[in-house]
Amino acid sequence: MDFIINTVYYVVPFLFLLGVLVFVHEFGHYIIAKITGVKVAEFSIGFGKMLWGKKDSSGTLWKLSAIPLGGYCKFLGDTDAASSGNDTTELSEEDKKYAFAFQNPFKKLAIVIGGPAFNYLFAVVVFACIFMAFGKMEFPPVIGSVIEGSPAAKAGIKAKDKIISIDGRSVKTFNEFRQEVEMSTTGNVKIVLMRNGKEVSVNVKLGVITIGENGEKSQRPMLGVTSVNEVEFSSAKMSVFAAVKEAFYECYRISAVTLRGVGQMISGQRDTDELGGIVRIAEMSGDITKTSSWLDFLVFMALLSINLGLINLFPIPMLDGGHVVIYLIEILLRREINEQAKDYVFKFGFFLLIALMILATYNDIARLFNRWFS
């Protein structure tokens, strides 16, 4: 019985979430290809053996495959799903007009960017719909209380202080302030406050707190303050323009925080054990399904869509970002890069991706072990 319940709570939501996000991403590639006159040979949700397939009138094979951990959009003339190679020897002169390999680098660039762009577009639509239906609800950046003996108390922070900025970054909500504290890697922050109409600047040496979240222990920077028990509404119901504008800002903010976190991992300021993979996504989607509402799940889906779009733009061969770099170089050189050189680059990217997947999977298993047995 427990197995059935866990399947419902963890496997089903995970497959639904991943299926939607993969479809959105690959549909971005597909629709831009169609607009630019490139023929799509296959559109697959999943990898491996085909479970179901149907050709449309344009000759595209739409299919569901056995391994539901991704998907691909394969163009006419491609030898693999990543468009890292091609075999055009059997194509007629007419077919070559519609093959990806024979397009100019501007078209190729547009098609490659289409996937990540649609991930961002999906997140914008989700956030905008939420803002229009429910309004934007946030806790204001005001200190509700200060814990006695905490780093905040020692620095002289007081209740009712309004937070203006932290380490030079302005904050509009208490949640943004909390995220900036958690993103700190130095252990020291400079906070600018508004108190009785005057700006006050304080330097705080952060403490460390151990969380027991979902049975998993982790350490986070601690300031020692709470928010006020009041909620601010930017609008009861936002207009379409205001909601879309706020949705774009939300996507920008999430991307910026994610990039800072990745940069801190690369520079060694943040542990790589925070890197999560497919198992972590399944775990989080299940936890949200069990304990939260459909609205939280929808927000989680939008957050993942942003991360999927952003990660795919990283300049790593085999990812969309690697293709972007190659096509930009070809635009600047006004000629194609040697095929053998491309092959070496893509092989390097493949091994790099495998290494990252192994690291992420190791972290996921370690988290699950700690959650189950600690």
Positions annotated as catalytic residues are: 26
- Concatenated DSSP letters of 42-63: EEEEEEEEEEEEEE-TTS-EEE
4: left (phi over 0), alpha (psi -120 to 50) or beta: alpha
- Are 362 and 278 spatial neighbours (Cβ–Cβ below 8 Å)? no
Whether residue 110 contacts residue 327, with contact meaning beta carbons closer than 8 Å, is answered with no
Query: Residue 292, by phi and psi: left (phi above 0), alpha (psi -120 to 50) or beta?
Result: beta
Q: What one-letter code names the amino acid at 213?
A: E
Q: How many CB atoms lie within 10 A of CB 46?
A: 21
Residue among 68, 21, 14 nearest 287 (CA): 14
Residues shown for the chain: 374
Burial zone of 338 (CB within 10 Å; 0-12 exposed, 13-18 middle, 19+ buried) = exposed
Best CA proximity match to 171, nearest among 183, 185, 187: 183
Distance CA(91)–CA(77), nearest Å, equals 8
- Considering only CA atoms, which of 229, 209, 228 is closest in space to residue 218? 209
Output the CA angle 307-165-200, nearest 5 degrees. 165
Three-state SS for 150? coil
CA–CA gap between residue 253 and residue 46 (Å, rounded): 31
Backbone φ, ψ for residue 296 (5° rounding): -65, -40
